[in-house]
A and B are shown apart, each in its own frame.
Chain A
Amino acid sequence: MQLTLLALILALLAVIGFMTGRSRAAASVGGRVAELHSVPSYHGVYVALWAGLPALLLFVAWTASEGWLVLQLVLSSLPERLTTGDGQSVALLKADILNIARGIATGREPDPLVQDAARRYAELRDLADWSLLAVGASLAVAGLGWGRHRIGPDLRARPAVERVVRVALVICSMVAILTTVGIVLSLLFEALRFFTVVSPLDFLFGTHWSPQMAMRADQVGSSGSFGAIPLFAGTLLITVIAMLVAVPVGLMAAIYMSEYAGRGVRTWLKPALEILAGIPTVVYGFFAALTMAPFVRSVGEALRLDVSSESALAAGIVMGVMIIPFVSSLSDDVINAVPQSLRDGSYGLGATKSETIKQVVLPAALPGIVAAVMLAVSRAIGETMIVTMASGLTANMTANPLQAVTTVTTQIATLLVGDQEFDSPKTLSAFGLGLVLFLVTLCLNMVALRVVRTYREKYD
C-alpha cells in the first residue's frame, strides 16, 4: 500500500517537476526561448529527473534490503536456542516467520515465540515502509526544489539529461550479461553444494540414476544414486531420433522452397511452417502423448514388436516435427545467401538444377547448414515438455527407441516440481543436471554462432 502510494507521489512530483521546469526556463529568459542553452522541455525533464531519480534509487536499494534487514533484527531478538543450530532449522525458522507474517498457514501450531517474532516482523516491515514513504517523498520534494533552483538560461540541461539517458541505456544492455552471470552463478553455486554430497565423477560417469533419498535409515530401495549416464543416453537417443526426422525433412523443405517453389506456393508454405514453429511445446507434448504414442504402439504391435506405451520414438518424432521449421528457416537463409552467380555458372556448364543444388549450392551453404543443425541439436537437448509428457520418467539405458527413456530436462522438471526441501541432494542434483545442460548447449551455440558469423562474411 505504502509502496503504491510512494510510486504515485513520485510520478506526480515528476510531472510537476517537468511542468515547472519548462515554464521556469521559459520565464527566465522572458519567453525568448532561443536564448536558452537547451529547449525548455529539456529543462522540464531535468527537474523531473532530479525529483524522481534519487528517490527511485533509494526506493530500489531500500526494498532490496529491507526484508533481509528486518528479518535479521527480529532474529537477533529471539532467544539463542532458536537461532543457533544447523542451517536447515534456521532456514525453517525464517520461513515460518515470513509465512505467519504474510498470513499463510504453516500447517502446524507454531511456537508462541515464533508467532511473536512474526508479529514484530510485520510491525517492523510496516514501520519501515512508512518511513520509506516519508523519506522518499521528502527526498523527491528536495530534488524538485534543487532542480528548479538550477534552472536558468545558461543551464546545460540537454547534455545533463542525455548523460542520464545514456547511462540508462548502458544499464539496460548490461541486463543480458547480468542474466548470464545470474544463470552461471546460481547453477554453479547450487551444483557445488550438490557435488559436496555426490562426487562429480560418480555423477558424470555413474550408470545408475535413482534420485529418491531414503527418509529413514532402514528404508528399502531409496538409496539415492546419482549416475547421470542413463539420462545422457536417453537425451542422446531422443535427440538422434529428432534429428533423423528434422534434418532431412527440414533441409529438403528449405531447398524446395528456395529453389523450386514459385512465388505463389512460397507465400503459403512459409507462413504454414511458421505456424508449426509458433505452436507451444506443451501442445506438441500433448500430441505426442495422446496421438503419436498410441499410434507408434499400435503400429509396433501390428509388427509384433514390444513397444512400451511411452516410447522414445514417439517423443523423438514429435520433437523432430517441432524442429523442422527451425532447421528449414535457418537453412533457407543460408541457401538464399549463396550468390546467384554460382548457380548461373553451374547452369552455364549444363548442369541440371538438382546437380547445381547438390554440387554447388549445398557445398557453398554447408557451414551455415551445419550451424543450423547444431542449433537444432541444442534445441532438442534443451526441450522439456514433449519428453516430460510423452517419454516417461524411467531412467533406462537403452538404444532401443521403442522403450521409455528419460532425459536431463525431464529429470530437472520432475525433481523440482512439487514440495521439496531445498537442501536435499535430490533437489540439488537438478542444478547439477542444469549445469551440464547449460554447458553443453552453450558450447553448441557458441560453435554454431561462430560458424554462422564467419560464413556470413564470405559473400558480403
Chain B
Amino acid sequence: MTDLVEQDAAAVTPSPASFPGSHGPAKSRVRSEAFARRLRARHAAERRFRLAGAAAVALAALMLVVLLGSIVAKGSTAFWEARIRLEVTLDPAEVAERNYAPILRRALHAQFPQVTDRAGKRVLNDLLSSGAPYELEAMVAKNPALVGTTLTVWVRADDEIDQLVKGRYRRDLPESERGLSDAKIAAADALLASGALAQGFNTTLFTAGDSREPEQAGIGGAIVGSLLTLLVTMALSVPVGISAAVYLEEFAPKNRWTDLIEVNINNLAAVPSIIFGLLGLAVFLGFFGMPRSAPLVGGLVMALMTLPVIIISARVALKAVPPSIREAALGIGASPLQTVLHHVLPLAMPGILTGTIIGMARALGETAPLLMIGMVAFIVDVPHGLTDSATVLPVQIYMWADSPERAFTERTSAAILILLGILILLNGTAVILRKIFERRW
C-alpha cells in the first residue's frame, strides 16, 4: 500500500520536467510508463467496483419491478368478471319455492335452440356460476314486484368461462391438456359473439367472504378480520409501547434490571414471528382457553410482536427531544411526570406516530403467527365481533395461493395488490408525517 501511493504521487505528475526538483526525464519516463499502466489498472478497478455497486442496486430495483410486474400482470384482470346476459321469466310458482336455478337454465337454453341433448345442456349449465341463482334471489328479495315479469339480467359466469374471456386458456392446446372442453369454448364464443357475455366491474371481490368457487370468493371478510385484528393490536401495543418507552427513556435508573429490559426488547424485535404464534397457541389458546381463529387472539399475538418495534422507535423519538426542553420545564417547577406529559411527549409524538404506523403495517402483513392460532380456517361469513372466527388478508392470500383453480391465482394476485396498496398507503403516510413534522433542534 505504502509504495503504491508513493509511486502514484510521481505518476500523477503530468510532465516531470516542468517541475523544479523533479526526477530526471529519462528515469521518470521509464517509471511513468509502468506507473501509467498501474494507474490505468487502478482506475479500471475503481470503475469496476463502482459498476458492481450500481449493478447491485439495479438488481434490487429489477427484482422489485419483476415482483410487482408479475403480480400486476397476474392480478389486474381480477377487478373485472365475466357476466352473462339472460332473459329470465320469473315464474311465481318457482319463485315461491325459491327454485331459481331452473329459471336461469331455461333462459340460457333459450339462447341455444339447437342444443337439445342432455350432454349439451349440461355444458350450457356449467357456463353459469353456481352462485348465480342466489344473485337472482337477492334481486327478487329487493324488488318483489319483479315476480311474474320477464326481464334482462346479467349474472356471474363460471370461473372457467371468466378465465377464458380473459384469455388465460391457450386455445391452441389439445382439449385434454387445456382443461376446458371444446364444447364450452364454442358455447362461450357464441355468447361472446352475440354480446351476451361481457366483463363488468367485480364487486364480489371486495364484498364477499371466502368461497370454494373462485367467482364467488372475495376479500370482504378478510378485510374486516384484518381491521378487527389491527384494532386489538393497536389498542394494546400503542399505549403499552409508549408507556414503556417513556419509562425506559425518562425515568428508569441505569442499572442491571433496566439493562435486562433493554436487551430483552432488542431481542424480541428479532425473534422469528412464528415463535410468537407458538406463544399464542400455548398461552392464549392452551392456557387461557380463548377461542381459536378469533381476531382477539390474533390481535394479542400481533400486539406482543409489534410492541418492541413501537418501543424502540418511541425511544428514539424521545431521545431526539433536546434536554433543554426538560430543563426549562423542570426549572419552572413542573414535576418530572408533568415535564414528560406536557412537553417531551407532545414534541416526540410525530416520531412515535411514524414508528407506530410502521409497526401496524408490519402487523397487517404478517401471516405465520396467525397460522398457528387457527386463522387459516375456511370462513365464509364476514366476522362481526372480536371473538368470531375470522381470517385476515395475508392469510387469505396464503390460502388462495394453495388453491388449484386458475381463477384463484388471479384473485390471489388481486388481493396482494390490494394489500400492497394499503401498506404503501400506510408507509407513505408515515414518510409524509416524518417530512411534515421533521424538526431540527
Interface positions, chain B 254-293, Cβ under 8 Å from A, are 260-261, 263-268, 270-279, 281-283, 286-289, 291
Q: Is the CB of A385 within 8 A of B398?
A: yes
Instruction: Give complex CA distance A186, B397 in Å.
Output: 29
Q: Is the CB of B56 within 8 A of A252?
A: yes
Instruction: Give complex CA distance A12, B103 in Å.
Output: 57
Residue of A nearest to B246 (CB): A169
Instruction: Give complex CA distance A113, B59 in Å.
Output: 67
Q: Is the CB of B56 within 8 A of A166?
A: no
Interface positions, chain A 346-373, Cβ under 8 Å from B, are 349-355, 357-359
Instruction: Give complex CA distance A165, B46 in Å.
Output: 59
Given contacts A351-B5, A382-B275, A416-B281, contact A278 B53 (CB under 8 A): no
Q: Is the CB of B278 within 8 A of A249?
A: no
Q: How far is the CB of A146 from chain B (nearest CB, A)?
A: 24
**What residues of chain A lie closer than 8 Å to B61, measured between beta carbons?**
269, 272
Stretch of B20-28, B77-85, B156-164, B361-369 contacting A (4+ beta carbons < 8 Å): B361-369
Residue of A nearest to B419 (CB): A280
Instruction: Give complex CA distance A269, B287 in Å.
Output: 47
Q: Is the CB of B49 within 8 A of A357?
A: yes
Q: How many residues of A contact B (CB 8 A)?
A: 97
Stretch of A19-27, A48-56, A119-127, A437-445 contacting B (4+ beta carbons < 8 Å): A437-445
Instruction: Give complex CA distance A321, B74 in Å.
Output: 20
Given contacts A180-B264, A260-B53, A422-B286, contact A445 B272 (CB under 8 A): no
Q: Is the CB of B394 within 8 A of A352?
A: no
Interface: B416 (CB within 8 A): yes
**What residues of chain A lie closer than 8 Å to B401, measured between beta carbons?**
282, 285-286, 289-290, 389
Interface positions, chain A 310-337, Cβ under 8 Å from B, are 321, 324-325, 328
Interface: A413 (CB within 8 A): yes
Q: How many residues of B contact A (CB 8 A)?
A: 97
Q: Is the CB of A179 within 8 A of B335?
A: no
**What residues of chain B lie closer than 8 Å to A389, measured between beta carbons?**
398, 401-402
Interface positions, chain A 253-301, Cβ under 8 Å from B, are 253, 255-257, 259-261, 269, 271-276, 278-287, 289-291
Interface: B405 (CB within 8 A): no
Given contacts A166-B337, A275-B64, A352-B46, contact A189 B282 (CB under 8 A): yes
Q: Is the CB of A434 within 8 A of B251?
A: no
Interface: A67 (CB within 8 A): yes
Q: Is the CB of A273 within 8 A of B60?
A: yes
Given contacts A177-B261, A183-B279, A280-B419, contact A248 B56 (CB under 8 A): yes
Q: Is the CB of A442 within 8 A of B335?
A: no
Task: Give the residue of B55, B63, B70 whose beta carbon is less than 8 angstroms from that of A321.
Answer: B63
Q: Is the CB of A350 within 8 A of B278?
A: no
Stretch of B115-123, B145-153, B423-431 contacting A (4+ beta carbons < 8 Å): B423-431
Q: How far is the CB of B346 from chain A (nearest CB, A)?
A: 16
Q: Is the CB of A446 within 8 A of B53?
A: no
Interface: B307 (CB within 8 A): yes
**What residues of chain A lie closer than 8 Å to B57, measured between beta carbons?**
252-253, 256-257, 261, 269
Q: How far is the CB of A282 from chain B (nearest CB, A)?
A: 5
Interface: A57 (CB within 8 A): no
Instruction: Give complex CA distance A190, B278 in Å.
Output: 10
Given contacts A273-B60, A282-B367, A385-B367, contact A176 B272 (CB under 8 A): no
Q: Is the CB of B368 within 8 A of A176?
A: no
Residue of A nearest to B358 (CB): A278
Q: Is the CB of A280 within 8 A of B394?
A: yes
**What residues of chain B lie closer than 8 Å to A397, measured between beta carbons?**
none
Q: Is the CB of B267 within 8 A of A282?
A: no
- What's the dominant secondary structure at chain B's contact region? helix
Q: Is the CB of B416 within 8 A of A286?
A: yes
Write out, one digit per residue, whether chain B residues 393-429 have a CB within 8 A of any chain A CB (1) or not (0).
Answer: 0110110011000000100110010011001100100
Interface: A174 (CB within 8 A): yes
Given contacts A169-B243, A252-B52, A253-B57, contact A179 B307 (CB under 8 A): yes
Q: Is the CB of A416 within 8 A of B42?
A: no
Interface positions, chain B 33-71, Cβ under 8 Å from A, are 42-43, 45-46, 48-50, 52-57, 59-61, 63-64, 66-67, 70-71
Instruction: Give complex CA distance A249, B57 in Å.
Output: 7
Q: Is the CB of B273 within 8 A of A384?
A: yes
Q: Is the CB of A353 within 8 A of B46?
A: yes
Given contacts A256-B57, A354-B50, A381-B272, contact A449 B368 (CB under 8 A): no
Interface: A391 (CB within 8 A): no
**What residues of chain B lie closer than 8 Å to A384, measured between beta carbons?**
272-274, 367-368, 371
Q: A176-B311, A253-B60, A256-B50 are in contact. List 13 more A-B contacts (CB 8 A).
A: A64-B288, A173-B252, A186-B279, A186-B282, A186-B283, A189-B282, A251-B56, A275-B64, A350-B12, A382-B271, A434-B278, A438-B275, A445-B267
- Please name 30 pairs of A and B residues whose Cβ atoms are closer than 8 Å in the assembled complex, sorted by A: A64-B288, A102-B291, A166-B251, A172-B241, A173-B252, A173-B261, A176-B261, A177-B261, A179-B304, A187-B278, A252-B53, A269-B57, A278-B423, A281-B368, A283-B67, A283-B365, A290-B401, A291-B66, A354-B48, A354-B50, A355-B45, A355-B46, A358-B49, A382-B271, A382-B274, A389-B402, A434-B274, A437-B274, A437-B275, A441-B272
Chain B contact residues, CB within 8 Å of chain A: 1, 5, 8-9, 12, 42-43, 45-46, 48-50, 52-57, 59-61, 63-64, 66-67, 70-71, 74, 239-241, 243-244, 246-248, 251-252, 260-261, 263-268, 270-279, 281-283, 286-289, 291, 304, 307-308, 311, 335, 337, 361-362, 364-368, 371-372, 374, 376, 394-395, 397-398, 401-402, 409, 412-413, 416, 419-420, 423-424, 427, 431
